[in-house]
Amino acid sequence: FGWLIFTALLVSRYSEVIAQPPLISPKPKLKSLQAPSIEPRRDPALPDETTAGNDRDAWFLIEYDGATIGYESLTTTDFMRPDSESEKSDPQETLLPVRRIRETHLKLNRFGNDLSVSAHLETVETVDGTLQQWSLRRTAGDGSTMQRSAVWDPSRHAFLLKEVSPSQEKAELLQSRVQPRSPILSAWLAAPELQRPQQWASAVLFPETSVIADVEIRRLSPQSLRLKDGTTIAVTRYEYWPSNQPDLRSTLFYDSEQQLVLIEQPLLGRTLRFHRTDAATALGEENLEALDLQFLTGLPLRRPLLNLEKSSTVRMLVAVGESEQISLPSGDFQSVEQTVPHMLIVTLSRPTVESDNLTMSRTPRVPKRPDRKFTDNSRWLNSKDDDVRRMAAIGGGAVSEPHEKCRRLTSYVASHVRLSAFSTSLRPASEVAKSRQGDCTEFAVLLAALMRSEGVPSRVAVGFAYVPNPPSLAPHMWTEAWIDGQWIPFDATLGVEVNPLTRVKVTDSPLTDSVTSGTLLFVPLLKFMGRATVEILPEKN
């Protein structure tokens, strides 16, 4: 699943972080939420095309860790206000609206499969970046699309958000204390209309996950910059970072005419760069190198894990750079020893199994039922939905023993839901039950809802799953069921009960209504992806 995260981060820049969780109305009045895709020539609220100025284009080559993996274009169109409105005294009202269109194309693959993605982001905003409306369309290599659009409603202090998926259309209310700025920071950050101190903050909307985040911005001292063609120019620099992630700093470089020439961003322990170029160079696809996401996002192992069916434990040393700090949770089948801040010893164990009947043998205990948040019907795990209840009844069958019921539900989901193109949108279980397709997120969400529908407490877990070829730990999501006092892992993507020796859990979630984005569930993995090394240790006697 790491390739999904990486793609989302590339397309949306910093949509993986959130400083101000948006307030989403769970049951909006659909008739009042009209947020069509942007059609600027037909919307009477927008300037007519006869008042549009000339288009201005900028082209960029995208490099990651030295390899050219894509290109991007940004087109800006100015609009003139009618003469009747030019005499308004409010400075904010006199700011001219502009339309920006950002096209991003990335050449990606995973295990030889084409996962290339393109994204079309269109915004209508003022020249200082105040966002009025936006539309995002992302297209995967197989042609599947995700579309999302929104219009700002000042009377509600909210964006009226509309999303179109293969299974349905949905509308939501995305509220904010202030009207946020555009996600295309590079276009408005150095605008002369922005008379700001050396450091300031602004709310910014990231459309890939519909997140509004506080971003800190700082103007740096001028310096010289050597360009790819060997010339050296004087540049003005700005840096910005999410307020809750000060170590994730992007730097923007502008020439003497305030034209953007370079963007540098940290991503998974490496550097992502956008170099200003011309259209012919950017469109020269023969220069692009496909980035293999499996090798980038997984944690490589020097040797495969052997005898997993016979071993009782697996011990591993997980480490990052000495200046960094990591942590992992301990649980029923995972114990963690913190040796130094940047290093962990993780011991994975499995329940003992009796050879005669293959039932799990545990120390007798009186299990305490978990909190209601693991059993409640929620926005994402809507276990009381008719389709979910029907699927749970069929998949679980007539058995009453929780462990066997969960095994059957896992197998049922695996055989009745098909893997589809990736999506960064978190979909409710009811949608997955209707469409019967998705990635590991949808499989885990649906299985958790089916378990709750059958009276078994459940949650989703996020972490790394063992992949034998090549030996590595790959980002993944699975489901955990509360059975006999323990959280037992099940993986509907694979259709099996999980061998705990093959999972390193980073976090878990009951998926309450407060969760606003599926991508955010994977944010804790970013401390490991591209940074951590894993060494398998000998078993203790």
181 and 70 co-located in one domain: yes
Grade residue 171 by pLDDT with cuts at 50, 70 and 90: confident
Grade residue 489 by pLDDT with cuts at 50, 70 and 90: very high
281 and 362 co-located in one domain: no
Across the range 350-362, mean pLDDT stands at: 50
Grade residue 105 by pLDDT with cuts at 50, 70 and 90: confident
Take residue 329 and report the two structure tokens written for it.
């949770």
| Element of type H or E holding 113 | strand 113-114
Per-residue CA distances from 376 to 307, 380, 456, 510 (Å): 39, 10, 11, 9
Across the range 401-417, mean pLDDT stands at: 94
- Pick from 331, 277, 252, 334: nearest CA to 502: 334
Across the range 345-355, mean pLDDT stands at: 75
137 by Cβ neighbours in 10 Å (0-12 / 13-18 / 19+) ranks as: middle
Lowest mean pLDDT among 159-163, 327-331, 354-358: 354-358
Cβ atoms of 516 and 22 within 8 Å: the answer is: yes
- Pick from 188, 124, 118, 189: nearest CA to 159: 124
187 and 142 co-located in one domain: yes
Taking only the tens place, the pLDDT of each residue in 25-55 is: 333 333 333 333 344 333 333 444 434 455 6
Q: Report strand pairing: 232-242 vs 250-254.
A: antiparallel
- More confident: 411 or 111: 411
- More confident: 243 or 481: 481
- Please report, rounded to a whole number, the percentage of residues in the chain having pLDDT higher than 90: 44
Across the range 247-258, mean pLDDT stands at: 90
Across the range 420-443, mean pLDDT stands at: 81
**C-alpha–C-alpha distance, residues 98 and 108, integer Å:** 32
For the cut 80, the answer to whether the pLDDT of residue 138 exceeds it is yes
Cβ atoms of 176 and 19 within 8 Å: the answer is: no
Across the range 104-129, mean pLDDT stands at: 79
In 401-471, at which residue ranges do the beta strands (DSSP E only) sit? 418-419, 437-438, 458-467
479 and 351 co-located in one domain: yes
Taking only the tens place, the pLDDT of each residue in 466-475 is: 988 888 898 8
317 and 251 co-located in one domain: no
Q: Report strand pairing: 108-110 vs 291-292.
A: parallel
For the cut 90, the answer to whether the pLDDT of residue 189 exceeds it is no
Residue range(s) defining the domain that contains residue 212: 2-295
> Of how many residues is the chain composed?
541
Residue 360: the pLDDT is: 46
pTM of the model: 0.65
For the cut 80, the answer to whether the pLDDT of residue 114 exceeds it is no
Write the CATH number for 439.
3.10.620.30
DSSP states along 125-167: EETT-BEEEEEEEEEETTS-EEEEEEEEETTTTEEEEEEE-SS
Q: Report strand pairing: 145-153 vs 496-497.
A: unpaired
218 and 337 co-located in one domain: no
321 and 279 co-located in one domain: no
**C-alpha–C-alpha distance, residues 317 and 337, integer Å:** 10
Grade residue 514 by pLDDT with cuts at 50, 70 and 90: confident
214 by Cβ neighbours in 10 Å (0-12 / 13-18 / 19+) ranks as: middle
Across the range 74-95, mean pLDDT stands at: 62
For the cut 50, the answer to whether the pLDDT of residue 335 exceeds it is yes
- Name the domain boundary from 246, 273, 295: 295
Residue 467: the pLDDT is: 87
Across the range 127-150, mean pLDDT stands at: 85
Residue 158: the pLDDT is: 93
446 and 333 co-located in one domain: yes
For the cut 50, the answer to whether the pLDDT of residue 404 exceeds it is yes
Residue 392: the pLDDT is: 96
Across the range 341-363, mean pLDDT stands at: 67
**C-alpha–C-alpha distance, residues 445 and 460, integer Å:** 7
- More confident: 464 or 23: 464
- Name the domain boundary from 257, 280, 295: 295
When divided into structural domains, the chain yields a total of 2
The SS3 of residue 29 is: coil
Residue 367: the pLDDT is: 63
Phi and psi, residue 394, nearest 5°: -70, -45
- Pick from 128, 130, 126, 241: nearest CA to 180: 130
- Name the domain boundary from 295, 310, 325: 295
Take residue 24 and report the two structure tokens written for it.
């989403």
179 and 288 co-located in one domain: yes
86 and 207 co-located in one domain: yes
366 and 279 co-located in one domain: no
What mean pLDDT value characterizes the chain? Answer: 80
**C-alpha–C-alpha distance, residues 127 and 199, integer Å:** 20
Grade residue 275 by pLDDT with cuts at 50, 70 and 90: very high
For the cut 50, the answer to whether the pLDDT of residue 302 exceeds it is yes
Grade residue 415 by pLDDT with cuts at 50, 70 and 90: very high
For the cut 70, the answer to whether the pLDDT of residue 154 exceeds it is yes
216 and 307 co-located in one domain: no
**C-alpha–C-alpha distance, residues 22 and 173, integer Å:** 9
